[in-house]
Each structure stands twice: as structure tokens, then as C-alpha cells.
DNA sequence: ATTGATTGCAAGTGGTAACTTGCATTATTT
DNA sequence: AAATAATGCAAGTTACCACTTGCAATCAAT
């Protein structure tokens, strides 16, 4: 199935901006990669910023983590947390473009700054509620839910960045390994 | 005390590159901020890349963490780890410029990519040795030193990025809070 | 005080990037 | 088949940026 012209432009922009940053990605090259004439970009999105804003629009949907959560949680720490790691890493991977963009071009796109604040906050909040209930249910030790939640997010975010920016390419930290070792250790500290 | 011309240029470059990225920081503006004529930059460093390489040279010294470590460790988990968090966060703060630069301009400066790989690896290695010895001394539980070390680094790196890029400005996560809550929880999982 | 190096000033060069315009061509719709 | 819209092509405009050059002014060391 073919992509629409707009989508071709958006995809090409995502790729190039990831490779070279906002300023490094020229409209000419975007057009080239999309297999289109440069003018077409402008006719669709007005200007370069307009293209990137369309990219953001597309990738910055408020996510479904909350629903995923309600559907998949079975109130068993180990299984739940392992599932959540996968979901979160998947979500980060999906949003990699905009996450890296927001780091690279901080300030340039205010919507992004807001989003980057929102994602971890939301995630911490969801986890906080989860740990609270688990404490109530006496399924885990009596811990401070907020602390546990932030640590969990820090570990996840640290892992994500380590593998995408610090050690890209190398497969030293495959996710299964991460879950079986690092997350498992984390889980043990809750029991 | 006055800075030398070269240092003024380097400092101005650090500031502007942090604000606007490598491509966004124009030589004109660097000169302006350094209170110098634009030509002077080129006479000193040849070209723009040369300036940034001087910045890297200055900030990318292989660090003293290893020595700090030998000097300050007293083989008490809680005190040691709290001390190490401060040292590591201080180190990250010092190198913030090059860390962010390496994220922003990945690929543009190969030395940086190497450094960004080296810093966490080195840190994990040092910590691994520390935890190994602590297990031997029976001061902490029998844990996998490597796992504990990576988790510790992930938490630290996650915290660092959260506060510098995701939530800049806001003082929601002051370091003392981080240590007293998050790190303390981590420490408890070792005892 | 003289000399040699450092910096400032002014003007310019070459290159490239974003964006425009007019017209021809191809798709899509009616 | 005719009309409307989407895309291509070619050429150009404007703006800015990295970098250069020649000369004057200043500063530092001898």
C-alpha cells in the first residue's frame, strides 16, 4: 500500500531529522528521500517548521498506556512489572523520534517540551497508583509508592537512553537481558 | 581575573551551543557574546569546528572518578553510595555541555561518541568492583555486582536527564531529595 | 621607544538554504 | 470527456553563514 504524499513527506522528515537534526535536514534532501519535488513540501506544509509540526502532531498522540494498563495488569508484581517494562520501552521506541527531537531542539518546539514533561509524569503517576494498591493488597512490602515509581522510571529511561544514544548499534543490552537481570533485581527489592 | 581570548571564545561557544545547538550557534553571535571580533575566532581556531573541538578538549578530560573513589570510599554502603551519587552527578553536571552536545550532534564529533560510551562503562566497572568487594566483605547481600552497578547507573543517568532536559528550571527533584528517597530505597535493597 | 604580536574594522566572497513563481504535466474527480 | 486538483520542472530571489583579506589600532615585551 502506498503512502499519501503528506505521509511520505512526514516519514522522510522523521528519518532525516533523526539523522541530522532539525537544521541539518534540508528541505531538498527531504524531498529527495520522499521521491518528490521540493516545491511539493511547501505547497503542503507552508514551510519547514510546518513539516516538523506535522511530524510532532502525528507522533505526539497522548498515549494509551493508561488503558493498556487497565487491561493487562493482573496484580502479580513480577509479571506486571515485566509487562510494563515492555510496554514502556515500546512506547519510548515509538516516540523515539519526538523524544530525541525534543532533546536536540529544546525550546524550538514548545509543544514538545510540554510532551516530554507529561510522558514521564503520567507514567510515574500510573505506577504510583499501581504500587499503592499493591501495598494495600499486601502483595509487596510497605514501600513509598512514589519513590518506587520514580526509581522504576529512572531505570527505564536510563536504559532507553543508554541503548539508543550512548551505545547505538551495539546489542550489549538487549531488552530481554535487561528485564531478566535488572528488572528482576528491582522486583526482588519489593518482596 | 580576566579570561584569555581563547577562553572567552570557548566559554561563549559552550553557552551558545548549549542554547542553540552546533548549527544554531553562529560565529557572529559567539564573537558578540565573547566581546570580540568575529575574525578573531578564525585566527585562533581556524574554523567553527575547530572551536567546538577546543571545547570538547577542555571538557572531555578523562575524569578523576577513579581516584576520588579510592580516596573517599570507607566501605559502608550507605555513606559510600550517597557520596558516589554526589560525585557522579557533579561529574555529569560538569560534563553537561559535552553530554548534551553528543546527544544533539551525534556523529558529528566522533571523539564525543567515544567519550559517551566510555563514561558510563567506566562508571559501571568501578561500581562493579566496589559491589564485588562489598559482597566479599559480607557488608551487603549476595547480589550480582554487575546488575546492581548498571541499575545504579541507570537511575543516576535517568535522574540527570530528567532534571536537565525534561524538567529544566523546575526544582521538583533537588539532589538531596533524590538521595534521601530514591537512593536510600536502592540501598535498602542491598541490605 | 621600538618592535612584534594580537585584535578590531570594513568590506567582500562563495556557498547554500528556505521559499517563490509561472507554466507544463499528470492524476483524480465529475 | 472535461474540469479540477495535485505534482513536476526550471529558474530565480533573498537571506544568512562560514570564512577571507588588507589595513589600522592597540597592547606587550624588549
Q: What pLDDT digit, counting tens, does each position of A138-178 carry?
A: 999 999 999 999 999 999 999 998 888 766 555 678 899 99
CB B87 within 8 A of CB B65: yes
DSSP B94-115: HTHHHHHHHHHTTTT-HHHHHH
Yes or no, beta carbons of B165 and A103 under 8 Å apart: yes
Tell me, what's the pLDDT at A97? Answer: 81
A42 pLDDT higher than 80: yes
pLDDT in tens, B101-138: 888 777 788 888 888 888 788 889 999 999 999 999 99
More confident residue, A114 or A167: A114
DSSP A177-190: HIIIIIIHHHHHTT
Q: What is the CA radius of gyration of chain A?
A: 20
Tell me, what's the pLDDT at A169? Answer: 59
Q: Which residues of A touch B (CB under 8 A)?
A: 19, 21, 23-24, 100, 102-107, 116-117, 120, 143-144, 147-148, 150-151, 153-159, 161-162, 165-168, 181-182, 185-186, 188-189
* Average pLDDT score over residue span A96-107: 81
| Residue A128 to residues A121, A150, A155, B128, B156, Cα–Cα distance (Å) | 10, 8, 15, 30, 20
Residue recorded with cell 500500500: A1
Buried b / exposed e over A90-126, threshold 16 CB at 10 Å, is: ebbeebbbbbbbbbbbbebbeebbebbbebbeebbeb
pLDDT level of residue B59 (50, 70, 90 thresholds):
confident
B100 neighbourhood in chain A, CB within 8 Å: 103
Yes or no, beta carbons of B117 and A166 under 8 Å apart: yes
Distance from CA of A23 to the nearest CA of B (A): 7
Yes or no, beta carbons of B151 and A185 under 8 Å apart: yes
Nearest to A157 among B21, B117, B161 (CB): B161
A60 pLDDT higher than 80: no
Q: What's phi and psi for A64, nearest 5 deg?
A: -95, 10
| Residue A57 to residues A10, A29, A61, A112, B45, Cα–Cα distance (Å) | 10, 22, 7, 10, 41
Identify the CA nearest to A54 among candidates A87, A19, A14, A16: A14
% of chain A surpassing 90 pLDDT: 61
Distance from CA of A125 to the nearest CA of B (A): 15
* Average pLDDT score over residue span B172-176: 85
* Average pLDDT score over residue span B45-54: 96
pLDDT level of residue B8 (50, 70, 90 thresholds):
very high
Strand D proximal to B165 Cβ, under 7 A: no
CA of A24 to C1' of D10 (A): 25
More confident residue, A119 or A150: A150
Q: Which residues of B touch A (CB under 8 A)?
A: 19, 21, 23-24, 100, 102-107, 116-117, 120, 143-144, 147-148, 150-151, 153-159, 161-162, 165-168, 181-182, 185-186, 188-189
pTM: 0.86
CA of A162 to C1' of D28 (A): 50
Quote the CA–CA distance of B25 and B31 in Å, as a whole number: 10
Amino acid at each position: 500500500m502506498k503512502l499519501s504524499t503528506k505521509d511520505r513527506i512526514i516519514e522522510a522528515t522523521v528519518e532525516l531529522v533523526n539523522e541530522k537534526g532539525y537544521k541539518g535536514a534540508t528541505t531538498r534532501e527531504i524531498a529527495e528521500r520522499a521521491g518528490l519535488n521540493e516545491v511539493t513540501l511547501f505547497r503542503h506544509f507552508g514551510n519547514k517548521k510546518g513539516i516538523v509540526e506535522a511530524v510532532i502532531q502525528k507522533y505526539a498522540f497522548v498515549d494509551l498506556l493508561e488503558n493498556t494498563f487497565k487491561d493487562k495488569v493482573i496484580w502479580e508484581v513480577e509479571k506486571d512489572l515485566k509487562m510494563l517494562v515492555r510496554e514502556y520501552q515500546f512506547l519510548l521506541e515509538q516516540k523515539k523520534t519526538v523524544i530525541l527531537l525534543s532533546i536536540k531542539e529544546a525550546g524550538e518546539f514548545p509543544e514538545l517540551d510540554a510532551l516530554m514533561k507529561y510522558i514521564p509524569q503520567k507514567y510515574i503517576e500510573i505506577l504510583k497508583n499501581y504500587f499503592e494498591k499493591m501495598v494495600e493488597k499486601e502483595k509487596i512490602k510497605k514501600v513509598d509508592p512514589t519513590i518506587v515509581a520514580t526509581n522504576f522510571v529512572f531505570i527505564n529511561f536510563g536504559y532507553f537512553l543508554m541503548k539508543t544514544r550512548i551505545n547505538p548499534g551495539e546489542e550489549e543490552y538487549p531488552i530481554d537481558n535487561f528485564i531478566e537481570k535488572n528488572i528482576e533485581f528491582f522486583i526482588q527489592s519489593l518482596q
